[in-house]
């Protein structure tokens, strides 16, 4: 078991989700068994929450649609425009039809052009056997109201779980993925 | 040939590109999901790994550093997409699992863990077919509780604990 002094130095970064996955795991593992460090982390959480509550956050309403609208107005290569047009058409065409393989080659090309599809293909590749990459773990150190994340996923698609929402009253939830073990872990240490 | 939006050529390309994978999804097979729950007590009491936990014990040893892993409960149940299944776990925990959809090799679901009547955690996720989500941390007796949640569109799960008749679940 790691020493409290060693863990204590990582608690601030743990609270801010800035540790490497193996460090997140080490801290979560220690916290699960150390009331003293759990207490210190709870103090960090309270401090962080209080600090956040006194700063005014700028409104982001309409921000993403404004960005997308500007991107749409940029001059685009013809293939990109075709791909974008098809994506919009596909939404309205529905998913139930298949007209055989008449344009199979074009379909393949289109699939490759389409980022989500391309990502799916990429993700079917062999999983890395090296240690977990930094972006595959994240921590939600949040209250219920602010923990809802609809857009970003917390675990990478390489892992076996793709978390789109995580709510907990617990202030120190740790999430990490172990692709080699086909496992995603959500760690909810008991509050002191 | 001009590729004008709205032209027939465009429509054919669109349908060929998106209709085929769409059909594959529509035919994606069973909407029935089997959920496997293993509740494990992990502690530092040097008692080793419960043999009933094979093959999950090895995985737990690799994930955490405890010296004791003991299976304290196994539940499994089948449910359909859209239908919640509830499991009563040791330590007064209750787990609700609601598969939402099967999307290729992924099972979309909502999971809510209660401590008694108090929700401890709510999550929406897509779990790979036969993949495992581990929820751990709550104290349990002299250690802590680790809940392994597996979901499968088939009839078995590679990480299922080796136990006899599992505890019942309630579908709603
Ligand atoms: Zn400590």
**pLDDT over threshold 90, residue B163:** no
Distance of alpha carbon A11 from alpha carbon A48, whole angstroms: 12
Strands in B93-103's sheet, in edge-to-edge order, are A161-168, B118-128, B106-115, B93-103, B85-88, B170-171
Q: Does B144 sit within 8 Å of A103, measured CB to CB?
A: no
Question: Any chain B CB within 8 A of the CB of A76?
Answer: no
Q: Does B23 sit within 8 Å of A161, measured CB to CB?
A: no
Q: Does A190 sit within 8 Å of B139, measured CB to CB?
A: yes
Distance of alpha carbon A179 from alpha carbon A171, whole angstroms: 26
Confidence of residue B74 (pLDDT cuts 50, 70, 90): very high
Distance of alpha carbon B11 from alpha carbon A82, whole angstroms: 12
Average pLDDT, chain A: 63
Q: Does A161 sit within 8 Å of B16, measured CB to CB?
A: no
Q: Which residues of B touch A85 (CB under 8 A)?
A: 5, 10
Among A35-39, A93-97, A149-153, where is mean pLDDT lowest? A149-153
Q: Does A168 sit within 8 Å of B122, measured CB to CB?
A: yes
For B24, the 3-state DSSP assignment is helix
**pLDDT over threshold 70, residue B52:** yes
Question: Any chain B CB within 8 A of the CB of A35?
Answer: no
Contacts of A140 (CB under 8 A, 6+ apart): A17, A147, A149, A154, A166, A168, A173, A175
pLDDT digits (tens, 9 = 90+) for A64-78: 888 888 877 777 666
A-chain residue closest to B113, CA distance: A168
| The pLDDT value given to residue A127 | 31
pLDDT digits (tens, 9 = 90+) for A151-182: 333 333 344 678 888 888 777 777 877 777 67
Distance of alpha carbon A14 from alpha carbon A141, whole angstroms: 9
| The pLDDT value given to residue A178 | 73
- Nearest CA-CA distance, residue A17 and chain B, Å: 18
Confidence of residue A81 (pLDDT cuts 50, 70, 90): low
Q: ipTM above 0.95? A: no
**pLDDT over threshold 70, residue B164:** no
**pLDDT over threshold 70, residue B100:** yes
Q: Which residues of B touch A141 (CB under 8 A)?
A: none
Q: Which residues of B touch A110 (CB under 8 A)?
A: 13, 17
For B133, the 3-state DSSP assignment is strand
Distance of alpha carbon A78 from alpha carbon A76, whole angstroms: 6
Contact indicator for B171, B79 with CB cutoff of 8 Å: yes
A-chain residue closest to B108, CA distance: A162
| The pLDDT value given to residue A128 | 29
Contacts of B83 (CB under 8 A, 6+ apart): B98, B99, B171, B172
Count A/B contacts: CB-CB distance under 8 Å.
167
Cis ω before A118 (30° cut-off from 0): no
Distance of alpha carbon A6 from alpha carbon B111, whole angstroms: 34
Burial of B1 (0-12, 13-18, 19+ CB in 10 A): exposed
Confidence of residue B38 (pLDDT cuts 50, 70, 90): very high
Q: Which of B15, B100, B146, B157 has the most A C-beta neighbours within 10 Å, making it the best mutation to test the interface with A? A: B15
Q: Which of B14, B26, B65 is the closest to A89 by Cβ?
A: B14
Q: Element (H or E) spanning A114, and its range?
A: none
pTM of the model: 0.54
**pLDDT over threshold 70, residue B145:** yes
Distance of alpha carbon A105 from alpha carbon A101, whole angstroms: 8
Q: Which of B16, B113, B118 is the closest to A107 by Cβ?
A: B16
Confidence of residue A126 (pLDDT cuts 50, 70, 90): very low
Among A31-35, A85-89, B113-117, where is mean pLDDT lowest? A85-89
Question: Any chain A CB within 8 A of the CB of B44?
Answer: yes
Beta strands B48-49 and B68-80 are parallel
| The pLDDT value given to residue A22 | 76
Q: Does A86 sit within 8 Å of B122, measured CB to CB?
A: no
Q: How many residues does chain B have?
A: 172
| The pLDDT value given to residue B139 | 86
Q: Which two tokens stand for residue A19?
A: 């540790």
Q: What are phi and psi of B98, to 5 degrees?
A: -125, 100
């Amino acid at each position: 078991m790691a020493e409290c002094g060693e863990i204590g130095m990582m608690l601030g970064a743990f609270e801010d989700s800035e540790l490497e996955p193996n460090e997140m795991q080490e801290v979560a593992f220690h916290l699960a068994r150390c009331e003293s460090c759990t207490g210190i982390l709870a103090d960090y959480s309270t401090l962080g929450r209080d600090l956040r509550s006194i700063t005014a956050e700028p409104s982001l309403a309409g921000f993403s649609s404004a960005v997308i609208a500007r991107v749409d107005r940029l001059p685009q290569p013809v293939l990109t425009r075709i791909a974008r047009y098809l994506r919009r058409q596909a939404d309205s065409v529905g998913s139930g039809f298949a007209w055989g393989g008449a344009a199979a080659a074009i379909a393949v090309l289109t699939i490759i052009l389409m980022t989500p599809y391309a990502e799916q293909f990429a993700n079917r590749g062999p999983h890395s056997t090296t240690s977990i990459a930094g972006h595959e773990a994240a921590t939600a150190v949040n209250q219920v109201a602010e923990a809802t994340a609809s857009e970003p996923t917390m675990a990478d698609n390489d892992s076996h779980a793709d978390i789109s929402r995580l709510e907990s009253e617990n202030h120190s939830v740790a999430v990490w993925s172990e692709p080699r073990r086909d496992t995603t872990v959500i760690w909810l240490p008991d509050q002191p | 040939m001009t590729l004008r939006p709205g032209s027939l050529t465009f429509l054919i390309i669109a349908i060929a590109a998106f209709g085929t994978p769409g059909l594959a999804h529509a035919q994606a097979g069973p909407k029935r999901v089997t959920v496997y729950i293993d509740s494990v007590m992990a502690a530092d009491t040097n008692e080793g790994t419960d043999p009933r936990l094979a093959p999950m014990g090895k995985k737990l040893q690799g994930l955490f550093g405890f010296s004791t892993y003991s299976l304290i409960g196994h539940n499994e149940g089948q449910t359909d997409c859209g239908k919640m299944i509830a499991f009563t776990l040791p330590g007064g925990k209750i787990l609700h699992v609601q598969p939402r959809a099967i999307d290729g090799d992924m099972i979309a679901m909502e999971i809510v863990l209660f401590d008694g009547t108090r929700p401890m955690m709510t999550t929406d996720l897509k779990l790979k077919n036969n993949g495992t989500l581990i929820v751990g941390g709550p104290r349990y007796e002299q250690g802590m509780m680790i809940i392994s949640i597996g979901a499968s569109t088939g009839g078995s799960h590679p990480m299922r604990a080796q136990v006899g008749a599992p505890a019942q679940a309630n579908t709603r």
